[in-house]
């Protein structure tokens, strides 16, 4: 099959990763249209040895397209995704805009690929932190029954896009050189600092939006309300790849050996650890890699039937672009 593809938000960090993955995975592209804001239109991006000009995104950009990979921001998707669907394309949407919309599948292919066929023109990519948590937790839930998940995230600048990554580099250099720096992307001092995720605060619930995404999206992906999720989301001054400390309570006693045996064969998951060297997954290990890395699993001695472990995943790759391309591969298989 030859697929006519458009990338909406082609000049961003996820857009660049989409281009790389489409080439790397030999996706069957018949034609490729790169779409971005008026400011970026006219620039060119390389793909499979060719230089492709970036076009301004308009409501007429989708004529003749089969697939739109969208990563241009929620308000942009809200405005333009319906036009893509009207033109006959399927939109794999990477923002939070349609994730909880009734009738829009929210898909992690390793978990609920069967939901892809339920689409009505739009398929949603989950939040990056949700994906990174869900990949190891779901096979454990299938094997042993999970009652509750408590996740603390350590989220990289990549989650806020290419401009945030660039700003972290510039701010770090400024701090080291003793210069003043005024951030414009992240609202707080970021270099050598950590802070609760800068997503909007929801005072009536006591969560910020990033934390609530993990709660709601997990229930939709797992197709059950029985797995209770609590999250604390934190920004850390890391360029790329999110880390998470995950505490899981099961319906029965589960040994570390049993859980690790399940994860060794779980799709999209890789064990990485060397306890004798006190070596566990780090963001640098996951950056540019497909699997979510797992290590440091141990018994929670404070509570029965509970294990604690550490995971790291590339937010731009599996947390965004790779998940979208995997959906597209199944959609046009």
What pTM does this model have? 0.96
Residue 1 pLDDT > 90 = no
The reported pLDDT for the residue numbered 139 is 98
Residue 270 pLDDT > 90 = yes
Catalytic: 128? yes
One of 119, 141, 197, 242 is an active-site residue; which one? Answer: 242
**CATH class of the structural domain 3-125+320-331:** alpha beta
Catalytic: 242? yes
Q: What is the mean pLDDT of residues 136-163?
A: 97
One of 128, 141, 197, 233 is an active-site residue; which one? Answer: 128
Residue 277 pLDDT > 90 = yes
3-state secondary structure 95-109: CCCCCCCCCCCECCH
- Model confidence pLDDT, tens digit, residues 320-329: 999 999 999 9
Average pLDDT, the chain: 97
- Model confidence pLDDT, tens digit, residues 2-57: 999 999 999 999 999 999 999 999 999 999 999 999 999 999 999 999 999 999 99
Give residue for tokens 């996740």: 151
Residue 93 dihedral angles phi and psi, to the nearest 5° = -110, 125
- CA-CA distances (angstroms) from residue 204 to 119, 207, 209, 244, 256? 33, 8, 12, 25, 38
The reported pLDDT for the residue numbered 76 is 95
Half-sphere exposure of residue 57: CA atoms within 13 angstroms, side-chain side: 25
What is the C-alpha separation between 112 and 101, in angstroms, rounded? 17
Q: What is the mean pLDDT of residues 280-288?
A: 98
- Model confidence pLDDT, tens digit, residues 227-254: 999 999 999 999 999 999 999 999 999 9
What is the C-alpha separation between 301 and 131, in angstroms, rounded? 27
CATH number given to 130-315: 3.30.360.10
Domain limits, the chain: 3-125+320-331, 130-315
- Model confidence pLDDT, tens digit, residues 74-107: 999 999 999 999 999 999 999 999 999 999 999 9
Is there a common fold for 3-125+320-331 and 130-315? no
Q: Provide CB contacts within 8 A for 90, sequence distance 6+.
A: 66, 67, 68, 119, 121, 122, 123, 331
- Model confidence pLDDT, tens digit, residues 165-216: 999 999 999 999 999 999 999 999 999 999 999 999 999 999 999 999 999 9
The reported pLDDT for the residue numbered 214 is 98
């Amino acid at each position: 099959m030859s697929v006519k593809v458009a990338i909406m938000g082609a000049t961003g960090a996820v857009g660049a990763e989409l281009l790389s993955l489409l080439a790397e995975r030999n996706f069957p592209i018949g034609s490729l249209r790169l779409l971005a804001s008026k400011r970026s239109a006219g620039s060119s991006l390389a793909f499979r040895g060719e230089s492709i000009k970036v076009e301004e995104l308009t409501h007429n950009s989708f004529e003749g397209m089969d697939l739109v990979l969208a990563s241009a921001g929620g308000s942009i998707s809200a405005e333009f995704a319906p036009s893509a669907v009207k033109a006959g394309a399927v939109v794999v949407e990477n923002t939070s805009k349609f994730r909880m919309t009734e009738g829009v599948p929210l898909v992690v292919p390793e978990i609920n690929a069967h939901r892809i066929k339920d689409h009505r023109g739009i398929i949603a990519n989950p939040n990056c932190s949700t994906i990174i948590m869900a990949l190891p937790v779901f096979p454990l839930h299938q094997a042993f029954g999970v009652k509750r998940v408590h996740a603390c995230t350590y989220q990289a600048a990549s989650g806020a896009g290419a401009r945030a990554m660039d700003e972290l580099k510039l701010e770090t250099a400024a701090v080291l050189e003793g210069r003043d720096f005024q951030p414009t992307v992240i609202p707080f001092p970021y270099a050598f600092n950590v802070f609760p995720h800068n997503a909007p605060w929801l005072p009536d619930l006591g969560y910020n939006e990033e934390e609530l995404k993990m709660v709601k999206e997990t229930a939709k992906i797992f197709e059950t309300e029985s797995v209770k999720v609590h999250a604390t989301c934190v920004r850390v001054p890391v360029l790329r790849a999110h880390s998470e400390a995950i505490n899981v309570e099961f319906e029965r006693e589960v040994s570390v050996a049993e859980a690790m045996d399940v994860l060794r064969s779980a799709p999209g998951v890789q064990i990485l650890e060397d306890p004798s060297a006190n070596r566990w997954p780090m963001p640098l290990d996951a950056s540019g890699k497909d699997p979510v890395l797992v290590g440091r699993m141990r018994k929670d001695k404070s509570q029965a039937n509970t294990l604690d472990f550490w995971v790291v995943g590339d937010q731009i790759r599996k947390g965004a672009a790779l998940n979208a391309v995997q959906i597209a591969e199944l959609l046009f298989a």
